[in-house]
Every structure is written in structure tokens, then in C-alpha cells.
Structure 1
Amino acid sequence: MPIFHNVDSAPAHVAPFSHAVEAGGWVMLTGQMPTVPGAPDAPLAEGIEAQTRQVIENLTTVLTGIDLDLSDVVQCRCYLTEFARDSAQFNETYKAYFPQDRLPARTTVGVTALAVGALVEIDCLAKREVVA
């Protein structure tokens, strides 16, 4: 039976979704935007580096709220509105959050637009160790 997680300390929903859904030890995290938890109407940070940091902090908040962390992430999907311009700086910022010998599998795509006017969105898949 799936478990539908909503984390009070995570950013407010901008659409109808759960922050994460868990089934069989797999945890699918909804894509996070660079919004600040508790301040959904605050202006977004300027630039891809700052927005990437905020997105990963938001993912971390969701993971922490369900007793996981970034070391449990096995795959990320990343969306950039300015792929050619921002991909190099995005990669530099992103990789600082993961051990270099344990980088999650990843897909990064360029898109024409994201919710709230963001430059970046990341969703991910994590694996919870199931104790028998």
C-alpha cells in the first residue's frame, strides 16, 4: 500500500500533489522549485546557482521529513529553462551536494518554462532500506 507523505516544513504546494509517495521501499519525490519554505510569495533567488541550492535544500527538507537524506537518492531528473546558458554552473552547484563516488543516476533536460518562473526544478527517486 503506498504511503503519501506531506512534510509541514517543506515548501507549500503549487499544484495538487504529495511531497513524496513511498511504495515497497522506493520513494518518489515531487519536483521541487526554488521557493522558500514558509514564504511562497517571496521573490525567487537570482541566478541558477542560488536557485539550484534552494531546490536541493527543499529536496533535503522533504527527505529529512520522512527520515531519509541525500545519500538515499538513487536518481534525479533535472529541468533547466536555459540549458545552454546554465548547465555548467548547475552541474558545479549540484555535484557539491553528493559524494563524487556516489552520484545519483541523472537525466537533465531543457524545457521552455517551469512553474513560478523558476530556472530549475529537480525531482528524485530514493530507496529506503527495508528491514525485514
Structure 2
Amino acid sequence: MTEVAQSEKPAMLFHMVPGAPRPVAPFSHAVECGGFVFVTGQMPDSPADTGVLPEGVVQQTRNVMGNLTTVLKAIGLGLDDVVAVRAYLTRFHDDYGSFNETYREFFPADRLPARTCVGVTGLAYGALVEIDLIARR
């Protein structure tokens, strides 16, 4: 019987980003493994005002995308490296259209990441939107 060499697990890097919003739970801002970067869902607050949210899904979406951009930039990536997005909306039927219009502002029409968007019953801080993503290094 021949032995098959077992491949080593890829190294993982755990990132806590200075200047990004303070986590609302025990997690890293991003984790890298095997050439992919998994960015934790970001909330619509700001690093300066933890838990303070702007009114409406449009501004909350802009804040979330800004927070995601902060995390990506700190580890040498940008939105053009994003391959998949998951978005969570608490008022899905009311906010889906406005969310989509705002979200589109951040990606070129010919480079939209794969995406899932779901309605949820609640998010931290009573937020209307939360987004996580996967990027490729």
C-alpha cells in the first residue's frame, strides 16, 4: 500500500483593523485562508459613534459599505477584489429597492459580485442592514 502525503492546511490570518468599528460580538474583522478573505458583517455605525445609526436604509447602506471598505483597505484590498456578498435587511419588502440602488453605487455594472440578500427579523443595534463579504487576494 502506498502512502498519500496529506497536504497541510493553509495558514489562516486573523485581522483586527485599527480604525474600523468596534466589534459588537467576539469576532475578527476579517480572516484570510487559502487566498480568500472573509470579512465579518459590518454594521452601519461608525468607529467614532459605536451603536449610533443614521436614519434610513440608504445612509445605513452607505455606512456599511464604508466600513467594509475600511477593513478591506487596511489589509491591502478593495471592493474590486470582492467575489461574493451577503446582505441582510430587516425591512426587506420596504427597503429592497432603495438598498439595491445604493449598493449599485459601489460596484461597476460589469463587475457585480455574486450576492445573496435575505430578510431577517433583527440585527445588532436595531440596524436596517448588515453586509458581509468574501474577497480574493
Class of the TM-score when normalised by the shorter of the 2 chains: over 0.9
Structure 2: state its 5+ residue gaps.
1-10
Identity within the alignment, %: 61
Letter in 1 for 2:95: D
Confirm whether residue 114 of structure 1 aligns to residue 123 of structure 2: yes
Q: Aligned to 2:93, what secondary structure does the other structure show?
A: helix
Aligned length: 127
Q: Considering only aligned residues, what root-mean-square deviation do their CA atoms show, in Å?
A: 0.6
Q: Distance in 2 between matches of 1:6 and 1:97?
A: 23
* 1:113 shift after superposition: 0.3
* 1:109 shift after superposition: 0.2
* 1:38 shift after superposition: 2.4
Select which of 32, 52, 61 maps to 1:22.
Answer: 32
Contact 1:12–1:38, Cα closer than 8 Å, also in 2: no
Q: Equivalent residue for 1:7?
A: 17
Letter in 2 for 1:12: R
Select which of 77, 97, 119 maps to 1:88.
Answer: 97
Q: Aligned to 1:56, what secondary structure does the other structure show?
A: helix
Q: Aligned to 1:14, what secondary structure does the other structure show?
A: coil
Q: Aligned to 1:12, what secondary structure does the other structure show?
A: coil
Q: Equivalent residue for 1:50?
A: 59
Select which of 85, 96, 113 maps to 1:104.
Answer: 113
Rg larger in structure: 2
After TM superposition, the score normalised by the length of structure 2 is 0.91
Q: Aligned to 1:60, what secondary structure does the other structure show?
A: helix
Letter in 2 for 1:109: V
Q: Distance in 1 between matches of 2:13 and 2:34?
A: 10
Q: Distance in 2 between matches of 1:13 and 1:20?
A: 11
Q: Distance in 2 between matches of 1:83 and 1:38?
A: 28
* 1:39 shift after superposition: 1.9
Q: Equivalent residue for 2:71?
A: 62
Structure 1: state its 5+ residue gaps.
none
Q: Which runs of 4+ in 1 moved over 2 A?
A: none
